[in-house]
Structure 1
Amino acid sequence: MAGAARLCVTNQKGGVGKTTVAINLAGALNELGRNVLFVDLDPQGNATEGLGLLEAYDAEPPSLLDALVDPAAVDPDDLVSAHPEMDVVASNVDMNAAESTLVQEPDGETRLDALLDRLEEAGEYDVTVVDCSPHLGLLTDNALYATENLVIPALAEPTSKRSLELLFDYVGALELDHDVTIEPLALVANRIENTRAATEMLEWFDEALPDVPLYRIRKRVALQRAFASGKSVFAAEEETDMSAVFMEMAEQVDEQLLRQEIPA
């Protein structure tokens, strides 16, 4: 794989704080000195809003969808927006037509890979973080195929058991179809509350995925304030104990990605 190390943040279950995890993990990687490219692949544009780039969501073409349809036709400079912590490929209202458009294209599930090659060559990035849409489909296929590395946010509640089973079944099928290996880098137990059910779920996460590092993110108003300011907690200079958890996650993910880049 040419260019930057890559990862995607995904869970088909909505409301798990996926975008908050993606933005703060990217911010932590920036704190480590990495040159980060952030791609908002979610048609809802939550990360675009959470990075203070809402105007880009309604911008005129060329959009991310145009670049996915024909990765060679769009100038990277026309696609990338500047942010204090990272470069951002914003989502766009046009992305609501992405699934129906890409399904008509040959190899529609591999277009993001070709686009990232161009973007990374132009920007000389160290890490690319892709924030996925909250469902399984062609856009998630693109993210998984292009990155081959997965960070999974999940709530510490029983409904997460089924959603994780579905996700790993889906990933396994994609691996077989495309002859790739997709590595789970981290499981993020998000918005943890002090309940017995949450404690039991944290134990289940450890037992069910013993080889995947588990990170515990508790509810903090500072995370919401940082999102509203268009930054990660690091750039927003929010005082929260969760900053240390995101930094630990970034250090571990960075080490794993670097290890993948070194030939055996």
Structure 2
Amino acid sequence: MATSRTGPARICVTNAKGGTGKTTVAINVAGALNERGRDVLFVDLDPQGNATEGLGLLDEFDSAPPTLFDVLTDGSQRDRLGDLIVDHPEMDVVPSNIDMLQAERELTIADLVARATAGDADIDPEALSSLAVNVTPDTVTGGHALDTLDEALAAVEDDYDYVVVDSPPFYGKLTDTGIFATRNVLVPALTEATSERAIELLIDQMAALESQADITVDTLGVVANRVETTGEDETMLEWFEAVFADDPVWEVRKRVALQRAFSAGQSLFAYDPSVDMTEVFLDIAEDLDRQFGYAEVTA
């Protein structure tokens, strides 16, 4: 069940295993929510900018500062997220940027500064901040620095029903920042044996984050992606159902149209709504509406 909170529903689409189709799932879930009449803000937190590309906004990846990097790492620019929002026919988008390649290092320093300031680490906060681009001790409060996206979203989220965050395909401070801001995760995974380890690591990562930040993170469901009709696929679907016994598991079959829609900068709903997998993504959106208490379709 989704975490209750004021403001829009927030979702982090996350799995540190590469190649799961995480970004494609995120874009099409956002497209399905839009199809149901929901106003969606899509945040590309991945330094590689795959969602930015997959929404046809590749030029934004090379845009001049301020960028998402500055909003996340410079406390004086935390309220400028609205300036970064780009219009897309299906959703509003906060694009990633080449500067985000430095974000993991910057947020790691910020977290160390927070711990040092709180007395949890025997390090001079000023010495640490000298290694950073934007982080200074006076802009970091509390025992961690995981709340930067959470604070940034507060300035814009009243305009939306959903915030969908596409996390990086690795574990670290950026992913933790996305999960901290949303408190809800949607997990894309391939139906292959290597997914078992990835899911186990994700569960461990969420437990560690909950302990560090004193929060609760809820799983909204699992999207089994690129499913085929093999014995391994069936075995993994059974494993997902067992591990996530209290959560829905959806099956997205392999379709060339999903990649073609990505290349066209659209979700399936704008590219070709006749593709059968649109029904799966609509099922996901309907269930998310149920979990977050949106009762009626407004499209």
Same fold judged by TM-score > 0.5?
A: yes
1:24 and 1:108 map into 2 onto residues whose CA distance is 31
Matches within 5 A, 1:218-233: 218-233=253-268
Contact kept in structure 2, 1:186 and 1:253, CA below 8 Å: no
Match for residue 40 of structure 2 among 36, 42, 54: 36
1:237 paired to 2:284: no
Residue 72 of structure 2 aligns to which amino acid in structure 1? Answer: L
1:210 paired to 2:210: no
> Alpha-carbon deviation of 1:47?
0.2
Q: Which moved more, 1:83-92 or 1:172-181?
A: 172-181
Contact kept in structure 2, 1:72 and 1:115, CA below 8 Å: no
Please list the CA deviations of residues 183-232 of structure 1 after superposition, one character each: whole Å capped at 9, or x if unmatched: 10010110112211111111111122111100000100111111111010
Match for residue 27 of structure 2 among 20, 23, 29: 23
2:81 and 2:178 map into 1 onto residues whose CA distance is 18
Match for residue 14 of structure 2 among 10, 15, 19: 10
> Alpha-carbon deviation of 1:119?
2.0
Contact kept in structure 2, 1:6 and 1:148, CA below 8 Å: yes
> 2:123 — aligned with what?
none
Please list the CA deviations of residues 107-161 of structure 1 after superposition, one character each: whole Å capped at 9, or x if unmatched: 332101001111214xx11100000000110001101111000000000001111
Residue 149 of structure 1 aligns to which amino acid in structure 2? Answer: N
Matches within 5 A, 1:88-167: 88-105=93-110, 106=114, 107-121=144-158, 124-167=159-202
Q: Which moved more, 1:199-208 or 1:42-51?
A: 199-208
2:81 and 2:106 map into 1 onto residues whose CA distance is 21
Query: Normalising to structure 1: TM-score of the pair?
Result: 0.94
CA 1:57–1:22 in structure 2 vs 1: closer, same or farther (change >3 Å)?
same
| Superposition RMSD in Å | 1.3
Please list the CA deviations of residues 8-51 of structure 1 after superposition, one character each: whole Å capped at 9, or x if unmatched: 00001000000000000000000111100000000000000000
Residue 66 of structure 1 aligns to which amino acid in structure 2? Answer: D
Residue 149 of structure 2 aligns to which amino acid in structure 1? Answer: L
Contact kept in structure 1, 2:223 and 2:249, CA below 8 Å: yes
Structure with max Cα Rg: 2
Contact kept in structure 2, 1:71 and 1:114, CA below 8 Å: no
1:70 and 1:212 map into 2 onto residues whose CA distance is 37
> 1:262 — aligned with what?
none
Please state whether the residue corresponding to 1:234 is helix, strand or coil: helix
Match for residue 67 of structure 1 among 32, 48, 71: 71
1:171 and 1:16 map into 2 onto residues whose CA distance is 19
Residue 268 of structure 2 aligns to which amino acid in structure 1? Answer: V
Aligned length: 257
Residue 74 of structure 2 aligns to which amino acid in structure 1? Answer: D
Contact kept in structure 2, 1:5 and 1:258, CA below 8 Å: no
> Alpha-carbon deviation of 1:75?
2.9
Contact kept in structure 1, 2:81 and 2:153, CA below 8 Å: no
Residue 154 of structure 2 aligns to which amino acid in structure 1? Answer: D
Matches within 5 A, 1:165-204: 165-204=200-239
1:133 and 1:77 map into 2 onto residues whose CA distance is 21
Structure 2: runs of 5+ lacking an equivalent: 115-143, 295-299
CA 1:77–1:148 in structure 2 vs 1: closer, same or farther (change >3 Å)?
closer
Q: Which moved more, 1:100-109 or 1:32-41?
A: 100-109
Please state whether the residue corresponding to 1:88 is helix, strand or coil: strand
2:38 and 2:256 map into 1 onto residues whose CA distance is 27
Structure 1: runs of 5+ lacking an equivalent: 260-264
Residue 146 of structure 2 aligns to which amino acid in structure 1? Answer: E
Query: Normalising to structure 2: TM-score of the pair?
Result: 0.83
1:45 paired to 2:82: no
Please state whether the residue corresponding to 1:103 is helix, strand or coil: helix
> Alpha-carbon deviation of 1:70?
2.9
